[in-house]
Chain A
Amino acid sequence: MMLKGTVHKYGINVDTDAIIPARYLNVSEPEELALHCMEDIDIDFVKRVKPGDIIVADTNFGCGSSREHAPLAIKAAKVSCVIAKSFARIFFRNAINIGLPLLESEDAVNNTENGDVLEVDLSKGEIKNLTRNKIFIAKPYPDFMMKIIEAGGLVNYTRKSIVK
Chain B
Amino acid sequence: MTLAEKILAAHSGKKKVSPGEFINVKVDLVLANDITAPISIREFGKLGARKVFDPKKIVMVPDHFCPNKDIASAEQAKIMRDFAHEHDLVYFEVGQMGIEHVLLPEQGLALPGEVIIGADSHTCTYGALGAFSTGMGSTDIAMAMATGEIWMKVPSSIKFIYRGKLGKWVGGKDLILHTIGDIGVDGALYSAMVFSGETIDALPMDGRFTMSNMAIEAGGKAGVFAYDKTTEKYLKGRAKHPCIVYKADDDAEYIRTIEYDVSTLEPQVSFPHLPSNAKPVSKVGNISIDQSVIGSCTNGRLDDLRLAAKVIKGRKINSRVRCIVIPGTQQVYMDALHEGLIEIFITAGAVVSTPTCGPCLGGYMGILAAGERCISTTNRNFVGRMGSTKSEIYLANPAVAAASAVTGRITGPEEICK
Contact residues in A for B35 (Cβ distance below 8 Å): 22, 25, 67, 69
Please give me the residue from chain B that is nearest to A70 by CB atom: B137
* Contact A22/B221 with A89-B190, A162-B146 known, Cβ cut-off 8 Å: no
Contact residues in B for A17 (Cβ distance below 8 Å): 361-362, 380, 382-385
Q: Which residue of B46, B50, B139, B389 is within 8 Å of A40 (Cβ)?
A: B389
Q: Which residue of B42, B137, B389 is within 8 Å of A94 (Cβ)?
A: B137
A5 beta carbon closer than 8 Å to chain B: no
Do the beta carbons of A60 and B139 come within 8 Å of each other?
no
| CB neighbors of A among B361-381 (8 A) | 361-363, 380
A18 beta carbon closer than 8 Å to chain B: yes
Stretch of A75-83, A120-128, A132-140, A153-161 on the interface side? A153-161
Do the beta carbons of B189 and A60 come within 8 Å of each other?
yes
0/1 per residue, A34-68, Cβ < 8 Å to B?
00000011000000000000000001100111111
Distance of B276 from chain A, by nearest CB (Å): 9
Contact residues in B for A159 (Cβ distance below 8 Å): 46-48
Contact residues in A for B76 (Cβ distance below 8 Å): 26-28
Do the beta carbons of A40 and B384 come within 8 Å of each other?
yes
| CB neighbors of A among B51-105 (8 A) | 64-65, 69-70, 72-73, 75-76
Distance of A115 from chain B, by nearest CB (Å): 24
Do the beta carbons of B72 and A26 come within 8 Å of each other?
yes
Contact residues in A for B73 (Cβ distance below 8 Å): 26
A88 beta carbon closer than 8 Å to chain B: yes
A-B contact count (CB 8 A): 133
Q: Name which of B46, B137, B186 has the most chain A CB atoms within 10 A of its CB.
A: B137
Contact residues in A for B380 (Cβ distance below 8 Å): 15, 17, 64-65
How many B residues touch the partner, as a band?
35 or more
B120 beta carbon closer than 8 Å to chain A: yes
A154 to B149, CA, bound (A): 13
Q: Name which of B38, B123, B146, B361 has the most chain A CB atoms within 10 A of its CB.
A: B361
Do the beta carbons of A22 and B362 come within 8 Å of each other?
yes
A124 to B13, CA, bound (A): 34
Please give me the residue from chain B that is nearest to A43 by CB atom: B389
B157 beta carbon closer than 8 Å to chain A: no
Do the beta carbons of A27 and B72 come within 8 Å of each other?
yes
A27 to B49, CA, bound (A): 24
* Contact A162/B136 with A65-B361, A142-B22 known, Cβ cut-off 8 Å: no
Do the beta carbons of A98 and B385 come within 8 Å of each other?
no
* Contact A97/B384 with A28-B39, A28-B76 known, Cβ cut-off 8 Å: no
Do the beta carbons of B121 and A66 come within 8 Å of each other?
yes
B164 beta carbon closer than 8 Å to chain A: no
Q: Which residue of A18, A59, A60, A144 is within 8 Å of B22 (Cβ)?
A: A144
* Contact A66/B47 with A15-B382, A26-B70 known, Cβ cut-off 8 Å: no
Ranked nearest first, the 3 interchain pairs of A and B with the lowest CB-CB distance are A94-B137, A26-B72, A68-B137
Besides the contacts A72-B39, A162-B147, what 11 more A-B pairs have beta carbons closer than 8 Å? A17-B380, A23-B362, A25-B65, A25-B361, A28-B42, A66-B136, A86-B189, A90-B137, A90-B216, A93-B136, A164-B48
Provide a sorted-by-A list of 29 A–B residue pairs whose CB atoms are within 8 angstroms: A13-B185, A18-B384, A21-B362, A21-B384, A25-B35, A25-B361, A26-B69, A26-B72, A26-B76, A27-B72, A28-B39, A40-B384, A59-B186, A66-B36, A66-B135, A66-B136, A67-B35, A68-B137, A86-B186, A88-B189, A90-B137, A94-B137, A98-B139, A154-B143, A155-B139, A158-B143, A159-B46, A159-B47, A164-B48
